[in-house]
Amino acid sequence: MFLICEEKKVYFVELKGSNLRQAARQINSSLDELSEQLKGYQPVFGRIVLSKTPNPKLIGSELVRLKKRLEKLGGNLKYNTRIIEENL
C-alpha cells in the first residue's frame, strides 16, 4: 500500500504470477482490515501487476466486487502484465 498523505490518496498494489482472482481477494482483504485506519482517505486505487497473462476463466466475482468497491471509494482498478506505469 502506498499513501499519498498530502492528497489523501491510497494505492493498493499486488504483485502476482497469473492469479488475478487471488490478487483481487488480497486487496479486498486489505481493505477490510484497514478500513478504519483509512477513513478520510479518498480516492482508493487498486493496481495488480501480473508476471503472466491471466487465464480469462480465473477472472471471477472477486474482481467485480473489488472494482465496484474501489469505484465507491472514488478510485479504480487497473491490472496488467509485467508493467503498470502511472504518474503519482
SS3 5: coil
Domain ranges of the chain: 2-81
The pLDDT value recorded for residue 23 is: 92
Sort strands 9-16 and 2-4 into parallel, antiparallel or unpaired. Answer: antiparallel
Instruction: Evaluate if residue 3 carries a pLDDT over 70.
Output: yes
Per-residue pLDDT of 47-82, as tens digits, reads: 999 998 876 666 678 889 999 999 999 999 999 998
Dist. CA 87–CA 51, nearest whole Å: 21
Q: Which residues pair with 15 in a beta bridge?
A: 49
Cell of 82: 509485467
Using 50, 70 and 90 to split pLDDT, how confident is the model at 6? very high
Instruction: Evaluate if residue 26 carries a pLDDT over 70.
Output: yes
Cell of 64: 467485480
Instruction: Evaluate if residue 4 carries a pLDDT over 80.
Output: yes
pTM of the model: 0.89
DSSP 17: S
